[in-house]
A and B are shown apart, each in its own frame.
Chain A
């Protein structure tokens, strides 16, 4: 197909988890013949196993569709997939910036969810043409009229012309494609000026290096061209340019308005960061594209191998993951309790869980994870401001003037009968109520200002269980605020176990300390000696439990000389001990380190 900027449409899909984005994308591929049904494994765009399991998109994908419209013309439609989770909102904003239009897909039964709303606002900020699509109309409980009213009342969109579709049954697909052609404007930009292309994603290929996913805004790019990454300041020679069909397919050139990829022997994904601008080296653009910022980690935790010998494997696995993930940060750190490991920074809780799971699943590592924490700002009595990413780095209380913690503006959308439980939860978590609004007769939008630390600790599970899964949550960072925070330490046999230290609000320290020692008492096996378990704030012990000493541990006689059975029993017990961490004289099982992660609320 010949390049004609007016026949290009770049669009994305905004949808809540489970509202059918991936199924819809699959239908587009099928309808336009990019892939036959037989060629498609279920939901092609969700590439990672983890994404399939969780039904969410973590890593973005893109695809080019060739579509002959009702006007008889051939169009190039570029679908840029967006991650559907708050952790990746910066990535979302960059993929929106690469589009001119967005399909807003809403479930006909469930209505708008908080994250959808956040992304719609982002899309509106980028002046995207928004095409409302109401999906799952095949379901008996579908209420498309209620959903339309929500769209109008909450977002202020004209939803009268919303496309009613069932991605599952394939109805309404052509209608959506037609709307894209007629409603989404063709890309702007100028063909005859120096190259400017926006990187909206990347992935690492072991043969080709980092592959940048780009939207050409101005000019064009082709093989052999010398390019430069404006923010990274690095220069490369393009080896290959291509498009997503959805497999990566070489083409000679990518021209103004087009979406595709470039490979340029880029060794490190950090050199092609999302949001950076690609330009020509010999004839560079004077201005970068707007909106670049480096992704900053919001959540940190320590990752340690269960067996000390696993350190090198962990190091190697993290290095490999970083090839594909420029937002993952790791620093070697040493814990007195856990030995050598890494303090890792993540975009959010989901990002953290994904990395942990991939390390364990894809790299077969056995890990101990410390409780996640946010980044605290500590003003010392000496007038210094410290950024604390690790509770054990917290200066002693006497040297602290005050501590600030990050807050977020949280938006909940919830059926009205669950407003009470959500408010109660937010209150428990030090939330400050700011706003409440009825989105429809049945659903309410709630706004709270909350400490981020409260959200990363067992919040989603609580929200889910208190609202039977009907609440959705979105949040954005809203600066730092002072709070009465303290460091809660756990001492086992008199020694502080640094890996269990947490920073917590003073009012909650006693309760959490008590829960923690009670839980640990059940998890630490009995030894030959008594083991006191204490929770302390500063020098003050706030809770204490004791693991009693083993007094008797004898096997009965081996009846009829069954020595094998007895040996196996001893071996099994010994094997159990091997998986524990030796801290001082005490052997501590892995679960004990996890205890801080899931002390039950009740």
Chain B
């Protein structure tokens, strides 16, 4: 089986120039993430300074590992991935294919195994992994994300599911089914529960208080 699949070919992950273009895309997106920072001129000093950010460092290490993996330097790719893990506590498997202009504001605890298009945003402790307990399979066994996808903090995507372009998976959502394009995936409303002064339990949905003794949902 070839290491270079369709996504890799489109993003140029098989060549060093293509990989470097991806890194430049990540830096550009990092430097223009807010209207204030986008208003500033992108200078060489700012570009070099962005390399001191864990976000750019961890993405650079992943892109390097992925480039080595698709060119059949698997052991070296794994070593780079392991170095990334030691430095930033982020686990992106070398075979995972991530498109350009990725944002990764808080690397520690993030795990990614799968494929993603361009302009992916991954917040802290988001997890994309396989449904089975196979840790190190092909990227096809993990989620397949489209372009402009946002993964909120603590969300979990498991298995070979597909997420359409422009979809947002918000905080703490667990997904093991396909997501259409352009939607926002929400978890069910959380129920609060606390002990009332008379000893009964009171539970409520956010913003809608109601007594419900004896239940703790």
Q: Do A and B come from one complex?
A: no
**Chain A contact residues, CB within 8 Å of chain B:** none
